[in-house]
Amino acid sequence: MESVEELSNHAPCMGAEQVDPTVIAETNLDCALPYLNHLQPGLVETLRQPKRTITVSFPVEMDDGSVQVFRGYRVVHNRTIGPGKGGLRFHPDLNLAEVCLLASLMTWKCALSDVPFGGAKGGVVCDPKSLSQRELQQVTRRFVSELGDNIGPYTDIPAPDLYTNAQTMAWVYDTYDVMHSGNNNRAVVTGKPLSLGGSAGRTEATGLGCFHATERLVENFQIEGLKTLKGATVVIQGFGNVGAVAAHKFAEAGAIVIALSDSQGGIVNEAGIDLDAAAEHKREHGTLVGLPGTLSLTNEALLELECDVLVPAAMGAQICNHNAANIHAKLVVEAANSPITPAADQILGERGITVLPDIVANAGGVIVSYFEWLQNLQNQSWELDEINSKLLKKIYRAVDVVIERWQVLQAEAPAEPEELADFPLNLRTAALVIAIERLAEVVEQRGIWP
């Protein structure tokens, strides 16, 4: 699966904080507002609401002959810069508010990475672990048929996300293609199998981008006691698509990956974990836990380990007001979508812990999705080297502009200092300011119709 431990739901943090996706989206926007006073009044408000939400429900005949009704969502947050773009996730706790938050993250991610798409997200409320392959295929096909022309190569382009993968995207493609026969429909969905127009490097893109972004930040941002990844200790929560690829890249760069986890628990070895042995153990036993030469610990304890770089690459809302005071990393890299709640963001900031936000750290996935879309439209197949060097450039550029903007905002006297007291400037805010300014510029150029 593309992202079993990559991008997940807003499973409530263990503490009392209310983890409401709408509040997360609102608070992040509120933090950027004081830096956006120069924009047309009211313009930012248009970004609080998604442009379009679709809720569908449909029946599926199950393997035992019974009928089950499923609910699906597709949200387009914004289409100022281009068609909607974003993943489809299958999860039992999925809800509309969460899909809206994730769709807005896609808008910021695309704007920041200079990818000409708007933000979208969708999925089906289901427990994919309890469905057979046939049932999963039925759910996917029926969901796509319900969406009808609301997705398309130039309107809204889905991709893999939590508990969906290249196979799911093949079903999405096939269903759409049957509904629109005679066209080249490959660009309707990204993250497809290679044989069906998928792109080289797409599966690894999020983990690779996460590593490049971290390396760039460490080398160019003043993080106390962390100037290079060489010799740095790294803790990664999640050993799925993103976590595993990033772990290998960190180790190649000379960092020491001291702890890893999957949904069943974590493993730690202060001297460094043998990543090939870890992957082999997971293949054989279905979990990392029990890898010889490591000690076991819970996912919660793993987050609190002393390290240089902590990479939450699993669930949303993992670091909240309950545990933010116990984080002992110099840098937290949001490989997952929204793993840090706003309250935790504030606590980490006050404690001097740098956060590399999700909209930069995990943008590699959508960047290579864009490359896949381009290849599909041109009936081309690019070499992996070319894709990876284009990815590297886009990621470096995104990190650089965020650092530059942070420095500028930091140096400027705030217009209303009391407003800023509640929302200290961090890299997330700097990134959001850039993304919103880019959108605002295009809104101005296009004009507001009529």
Footprint on this chain of ligand GLU (rule: CB under 6 A) = 7, 85-87, 159, 161, 190, 337, 362, 365-366, 369
Number of Cβ within a 10 Å radius of residue 295: 11
Q: What's the min distance (Å) between Cβ of 86 and ligand GLU?
A: 5
Q: What's the min distance (Å) between Cβ of 87 and ligand GLU?
A: 3
Nearer to ligand GLU, 361 or 425 (CB): 361
| Closest by Cα among 442, 444, 424 to 32 | 424
The secondary structure of 120-171 as a DSSP string is EEEEEES-GGGS-HHHHHHHHHHHHHHHGGGSBTTTEEEEE-TT--HHHHHH
Peptide bond into 342 cis (omega under 30): no
Number of Cβ within a 10 Å radius of residue 403: 18
Residue carrying the six token digits 């996935």: 365
Question: Alpha helices, DSSP H only, in 180-224?
Answer: 202-220
End-to-end CA distance of the chain: 45
Q: Are 289 and 260 in contact (CB under 8 A)?
A: no
Round to whole Å and give the CA distance between 173 and 141: 9
What distances in angstroms separate CA 170 from CA 150, 177, 188, 189, 338, one per listed residue?
Answer: 18, 10, 11, 9, 28
Q: What's the min distance (Å) between Cβ of 5 and ligand GLU?
A: 14
Tokens of 448: 């507001």
Nearer to ligand GLU, 206 or 233 (CB): 206
Q: What's the min distance (Å) between Cβ of 6 and ligand GLU?
A: 8
Q: What's the min distance (Å) between Cβ of 109 and ligand GLU?
A: 6
Number of Cβ within a 10 Å radius of residue 181: 7
Round to whole Å and give the CA distance between 238 and 263: 7
Number of Cβ within a 10 Å radius of residue 82: 18
Q: Look up 249 and say whether it is catalytic.
A: no
Residue with smallest beta-carbon separation from ligand GLU: 87
Nearer to ligand GLU, 105 or 425 (CB): 105
Q: What's the min distance (Å) between Cβ of 110 and ligand GLU?
A: 9
Catalytic residue among 121, 282, 330, 394: 121
Nearer to ligand GLU, 124 or 273 (CB): 124
Antiparallel, parallel or unpaired: β 295-297 and 309-312: unpaired
Tell me which residues are annotated as active site: 121
